[in-house]
């Protein structure tokens, strides 16, 4: 399959405009959102090249573990790109490391979360060479697309101004929006996706909103007919409900995507079981957020054609 090409410089205005909308609508739905009818996912086959865009390690499993397994079973290719390595969780540090946040410990936490991500996605059939880490700053992605497009952002958690992880795809690249856009475009060229699953810009977490906006702008400039679908993790207070593990229960649409009718992807029991095992591979997160994480292990996953 020929790699699709995206010109990063042409994508910049679109990213900046979308990010400005997100920054200005942080308390509600982005101005780009509009009601949409249900639209089925494209057929999954040996020709499918799936790219899951995850803001942090664990997001890919919560949203898409069932669909990822189905693509692998159909003989297709699955890749995951993590925008950050999850290095900004004070709660993890307090409960797991028993100390307040420090730059070295934040990077250690990121290394641990990357190992968990490799284990979890490996269970789902994603090979090591398709587990792609960009290493941009946790809780800083929206800043990169707005105020730090060309000037380096300093992480308040790791103290880094550039990607500090040696096993990241582009170690040493500066923490700027322009660098992030170039790196994301390079991932699209490398993966040549036919289907991209990205966070909804309606997500309440700024990193998730930013990752969705980044994917939206990049895909608008991508030739080749790849399709984009959206998922959501932080979909409103109390969602998903009920919290905790409820085998066989379908996932209900999030309040934050009201007005958008998502496509329903039904998991087989074995896929649901493997999703549970992959979620449990995230030991750092299970120690602090188990009821929330387990609430995504449902009999369905939801994907919207409209952001």
Q: 40-55, pLDDT tens digit by residue?
A: 899 999 999 999 999 9
pLDDT at 77 over 50: yes
Q: What pTM was computed for the model?
A: 0.88
- The domain total for the chain is 1
For position 90, what pLDDT does the model report? 59
pLDDT mean over 198-214: 98
**Would you say residue 1 lies in a domain?**
no
Residue 2: which pLDDT band, with cuts at 50, 70 and 90? very low
Closest CA to 131 of 139, 147, 119: 119
**Would you say residue 269 lies in a domain?**
yes
For position 4, what pLDDT does the model report? 39
Distance CA 265, CA 272 (A): 12
Range scoring the smallest mean pLDDT among 21-30, 62-71, 93-102, 156-165:
21-30
pLDDT at 68 over 80: yes
For position 223, what pLDDT does the model report? 83
pLDDT at 204 over 80: yes
For position 119, what pLDDT does the model report? 98
**Would you say residue 185 lies in a domain?**
yes
Mean pLDDT (the chain) is 88
**Residue 281 has what DSSP assignment?**
T
List pLDDT tens digits, range 243-284.
Answer: 999 989 999 999 999 999 999 999 999 999 999 999 999 999
**Would you say residue 289 lies in a domain?**
yes
- Which DSSP string corresponds to 148-180? TSSS----TTT--SB---TTSTTTT-BSSHHHH
**Would you say residue 27 lies in a domain?**
no
Residue 101: which pLDDT band, with cuts at 50, 70 and 90? low
For position 36, what pLDDT does the model report? 34
List pLDDT tens digits, range 134-168.
Answer: 999 999 999 999 999 999 999 999 999 999 999 99
For position 300, what pLDDT does the model report? 98
Q: Cα–Cα–Cα angle for 17, 175, 85, nearest 5°?
A: 100
**Would you say residue 28 lies in a domain?**
no
Percent of the chain past pLDDT 90, that is, above it, reads 79
Residue 100: which pLDDT band, with cuts at 50, 70 and 90? low
pLDDT at 66 over 90: yes
**Would you say residue 7 lies in a domain?**
no
For position 94, what pLDDT does the model report? 52
The two tokens of residue 106 are 């934040």
For position 5, what pLDDT does the model report? 38
**Would you say residue 30 lies in a domain?**
no
List pLDDT tens digits, range 110-131.
Answer: 999 999 999 999 999 999 999 9
Which domain CATH number covers 52? 3.40.50.10320
For position 244, what pLDDT does the model report? 98
143 neighbors 176 (Cβ within 8 angstroms): no
258 or 28, which is more confident: 258
Print the domain residue range for 297: 12-22+38-302
Distance CA 86, CA 107 (A): 9
Distance CA 194, CA 190 (A): 12
140 neighbors 161 (Cβ within 8 angstroms): no
211 neighbors 83 (Cβ within 8 angstroms): yes
Closest CA to 233 of 301, 173, 179: 301
pLDDT at 38 over 90: no
For position 54, what pLDDT does the model report? 98
């Amino acid at each position: 399959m020929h790699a699709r090409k995206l010109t990063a410089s042409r994508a910049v205005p679109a990213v900046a405009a979308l990010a400005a909308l997100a920054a200005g609508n942080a308390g509600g739905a982005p101005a780009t959102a509009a009601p949409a009818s249900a639209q089925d996912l494209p057929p999954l086959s040996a020709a499918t090249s799936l790219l899951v865009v995850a803001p942090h390690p664990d997001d890919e499993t919560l949203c898409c573990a069932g669909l990822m397994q189905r693509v692998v079973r159909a003989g297709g290719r699955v890749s995951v790109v993590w925008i950050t390595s999850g290095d900004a969780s004070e709660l993890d540090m307090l409960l797991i490391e028993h100390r307040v946040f420090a730059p070295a410990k934040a990077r250690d936490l990121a290394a641990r979360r990357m190992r968990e991500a490799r284990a979890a996605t490996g269970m789902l059939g994603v090979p090591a060479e398709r587990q792609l880490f960009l290493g941009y700053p946790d809780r800083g992605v929206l800043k990169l697309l707005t105020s730090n497009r060309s000037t380096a952002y300093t992480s308040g958690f790791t103290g880094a101004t550039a990607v500090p992880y040696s096993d990241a795809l582009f170690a040493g690249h500066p923490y700027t929006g322009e660098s992030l856009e170039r790196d994301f475009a390079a991932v699209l060229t490398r993966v040549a996706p036919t289907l991209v699953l990205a966070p909804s810009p309606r997500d309440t977490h700024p990193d998730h909103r930013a990752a969705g906006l980044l994917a939206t702008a990049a895909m608008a400039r991508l030739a080749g007919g790849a399709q984009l679908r959206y998922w959501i993790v932080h979909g409103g207070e109390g969602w998903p409900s009920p919290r905790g593990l409820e085998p066989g229960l379908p996932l209900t649409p999030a309040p934050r995507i009201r007005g958008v009718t998502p496509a329903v992807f039904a998991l087989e029991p074995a896929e649901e079981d493997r999703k549970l095992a992959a979620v449990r591979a995230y030991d750092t997160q299970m120690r602090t957020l188990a009821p929330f994480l387990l609430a995504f292990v449902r009999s369905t996953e939801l994907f919207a054609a409209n952001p």
